[in-house]
Each structure stands twice: as structure tokens, then as C-alpha cells.
Amino acid sequence: MKRAGNLIIGYFYTMNLRLPAFILSLLIIQALSAKAQWDDTDRLKPSFHKGRRDAFRALMPEKSVAIFFANPTRTRSNDVDYQYSQDPNFYYLSGYLEPNAILFIFKDSINLDGNQVNEMIFIQQRNPKREVWTGQRLGVDGVKKNLGFQAVYNGADFKEFGLDFAKFNQILVKYPDAPSNEKDDPADIADLSDQVKEKIHAFEDKVDNGIAFRLLNQLREVKLPEELVLMQKAIDISNVGFIEMMKALNPTMTEYQVQAIVEYHMKKNGSEYPGYGSIAGSGANGCVLHYTFNRKQLADGELLLTDMGAEYHNYTADITRTIPVNGKFSAEQKIIYQLVLDAQNAGIAACIAGNDFRSTHKATTEVVTKGLLNLGIIKSESDYRLYFMHGTSHYLGLDVHDAGTFGPLKVGAVITVEPGIYIPKGSNCDPRWWNIGIRIEDDVLITDTQPRILSGALPREIADIEQLMSK
């Protein structure tokens, strides 16, 4: 049944057809229910990462070398680290998920131990004592076998490694931000970055810390089909969490219980972790754009703004829904909600290849401005910024605010469309609008025809939301 459900969902996405939201929602739940849904055989293949290195190499300046660092580990408190998350650029180019590594990409092949190579990677060494505590490392043989690299070395070898930087016209490098030094590890990312600095110190005039990232912004902006598969899974997982939360929501709950329901279903269906800090703001908290405290008791008659997204195999969703805690919008809430929805529809309609990136924001602000003027909430057009103070779109992918060029929209790019209206208590308008905070956010794929709402199975219309919540 699970496989059949996935095929049904895939058909409707591929054909860009729309079922009633609540029916498509049930299909997704059916497709993802029962057991753990996906194992890790669906990760990006080594050929994907090699293809990305080849594409990056083709854009590199002549006679250049690019140097990339893995993310350092980060201390949460005392001797406890945050769960490790790889640097998106490093993962994109290598597929390597461990810390303490350096990747070199050469524009032209160099002679290395009698072999011509155009890339090499230094990784953290196998350490049986540490692996008892933190899990098995790939090591040199594992990276060769599983990631397809030929020139692989332990990080401890880098200090004495002979690489003649004089032969390069440009050295493209950006060092990691303030990595902590692990005293018992002579090849952690702090040591490795210091060793790179020492080796290229005599060639500072050749160093550029911006070109590589501009090139990666260009590449990562356009998603390949393999990436879109993972992004759709992340979005489908997120949708299930939202749907189950909306069905369970009632005024006796707290914001953290709302968060727990969504995150439980994301985790249950294969998400490694949330793609960013989950937002569950009720009442006045819905007017705080990046509210993440999530401790308040819900109240009958309030709105609840939920902004959450599952991360699946390094790719994240980013979805926002604003719903009535008691399952029914009040008259004032309906008016503002419909205004935001109309603005979002206008923004989505602007998601056409070739349009300027800011065309979505222009479209949404025109609708919001006109609506607020008609309601008497603002007196002049420029006052819309009092209640809609953020941008409408950002790229989405390996980062929740993903890499991109912010130029004309390109086929294969995925962006969010997320207008909002936030009217905190004490605003210079009729008090009946106070503490109404509404944002609606969906993830949209730019195609060569009409935009495709990847998160479109999650209800947006007032009637669909109320119908789902009645269940």
C-alpha cells in the first residue's frame, strides 16, 4: 500500500494536477504510515557528488585550486556537542558526513604519487577507541569505496603533505568560522585550517575567499532531479506532521505540544531532524517573526502560527500554516487570512522562469497594501511595512535559506512564497485586529511552464483547514 500511495502522489505531482487538499492529505498519510518509510539506500549517489565537482571545476578560473573545509563540531555545553551537521557546500561536493576534513579541487590535473588527479580529500582517521563512543568512521578505505574518491588521505598526513601552491594562479578558500581546538586530536578542523594558512601564507596575493562561493551559489540554485526527489520527501514528511497536528489541535494544549506532534511525525517518517528551529506561536506570539520559545498555553479564539520543516538526507522543507486553535476562524481572522492567501496566490503566480527574484515580493506587497488600505488598518501605502516587514521568498535546499544568485528565476530552482501580516497589540488601528499574526508559506518549484507547489497537499483555503480540523 505504501508503494501504491507514493505512486499516486507522484502521478499527481508530475501531472501538476490538483486533488482536493484533504483527499491528497489522506493519500500522503496512507503512503507514509505504519513503519519506518525509507532506509538510507535513497541517499544521493557518489556519481551525483562527482558530477557536482566536475561542474564546479568547469567554472573555476584557469590554473586555480579550491579548498573546502568540513563543518567543525560545536559544543552545546561542557563536554556535550550539538548533533553534527555537515557544511552544505562540503556535502554537495563530496557526500562526506563527518567532521575534520578538507577537500581540494584542481582546475587542471596534477601529478600525485605518479597518478594524474584533479581532486583529493583528507578525512578523519579511523580510531577504534573513539568509534566505541561516537560510531564507526569511514576512514580512507570507506571513502574510496562509498564516495568514489581516488586520492584519499588521513587528515594527520596533511601537515607534511607536499603540495606546491606556487603552481596555481588563484587559491580559492574560505576558512571555517572559529572552530574549537580538540586538544587530543592533532588533525581537527582547527589544526587543519591553521596548516592550510601556513602552507599558503607566502601566496596571499593569490588567495580569493569569494569566487568559490559565488560559483556554488550558481550551481546549487538549480536543483537536479535527484535533489528534487529528496526535497519532495522532506516536504511530504512535513505535511504529515502538520496534518496530524491540525487534527489533534485544541485549546487545552501548549505550544510545545503542538511542536511535539509535528516533530514526532516528521521523525517517525524518516526525518533526521528539523531543518531549523520550529516556530509554534499562538496569540500575540504569532506576531513575533522568529518566535521559538514555544512554552505558552493555547487559548480558545486565538490563532496559531506554525512554521516548521523536516530535514531529509540534508535537504529541508520550509512550511508555514496559521490556523484557529478552536478549529474555526473568527470574522476578523478570516478577513486577514484571506488577504494573506490572496497575496500568496499572487506571489506564486509570479514564480515564472525569467521573472526577477523579487517579483514575488512585488506581487504580494501590492495585494497586502491594497487590502490594508481598504480595511483602514493603514493610512498610506508605505505603512504596509508596519505589518508586513519581511521578504516574500528565499531559495530552499540544503539550507533553509539556500544558496542562489537572486537574479532571474531559473527552471529547477525551489523558492518559498511566504507573505504575512502581523498586527501586535497596541498597533495604530482598530483593536479588533490586534494580536492577529498570519503567515502562509509554501515551497514552489520553478518549471518551464507554471509553478508547481511542492507542499500543495497541505490545506491553505479556509474551508479546507476547518474541514480538516473538524476531523
Residue 38 has what pLDDT? Answer: 38
Residue 36 has what pLDDT? Answer: 39
- Residues of the chain with confidence (pLDDT) below 70: 1-39
Q: Where are the alpha helices (DSSP H) in 350-409?
A: 359-374
- How many CB atoms sit inside 10 A of residue 239's CB? 29
The three cell numbers locating residue 450 = 507554471
Q: Is residue 178 domain-shared with residue 107, that is, in the same domain?
A: yes
Tally of domains within the chain: 2
What gap in Å lies between CA 335 and CA 3, rounded to an integer?
41
> Tens digits of per-residue pLDDT, 3-30?
334 433 443 443 444 455 556 655 565 5
Among residues 194, 218, 242, the one where a domain terminates is: 218
Among residues 218, 236, 256, the one where a domain terminates is: 218
Among residues 176, 192, 218, the one where a domain terminates is: 218
Q: Is residue 208 domain-shared with residue 245, that is, in the same domain?
A: no
What is the model's pTM?
Answer: 0.92
What gap in Å lies between CA 135 and CA 153, rounded to an integer?
20
Pairing of strands 303-308, 115-123: unpaired
- How many CB atoms sit inside 10 A of residue 259's CB? 22
Residue 12 lies in a domain: no
CATH of the domain at 124: 3.40.350.10
Residue 138 lies in a domain: yes
Residue 188 has what pLDDT? Answer: 93
What gap in Å lies between CA 124 and CA 371, rounded to an integer?
57
Sequence-ordered list of residues with C-beta below 8 angstroms from that of 348, at least 6 positions apart, any chain: 360, 417, 442, 444, 451, 453
Residue 185 has what pLDDT? Answer: 86
320: phi then psi, degrees, rounded to nearest 5? -130, 135
Residue 285 has what pLDDT? Answer: 98
CATH of the domain at 445: 3.90.230.10
Helix, strand, or coil (residue 454): coil
Helix, strand, or coil (residue 339): helix
Residue 178 has what pLDDT? Answer: 75
Residue 13 lies in a domain: no
Write out the residue range of the structural domain in which residue 294 sits.
223-469
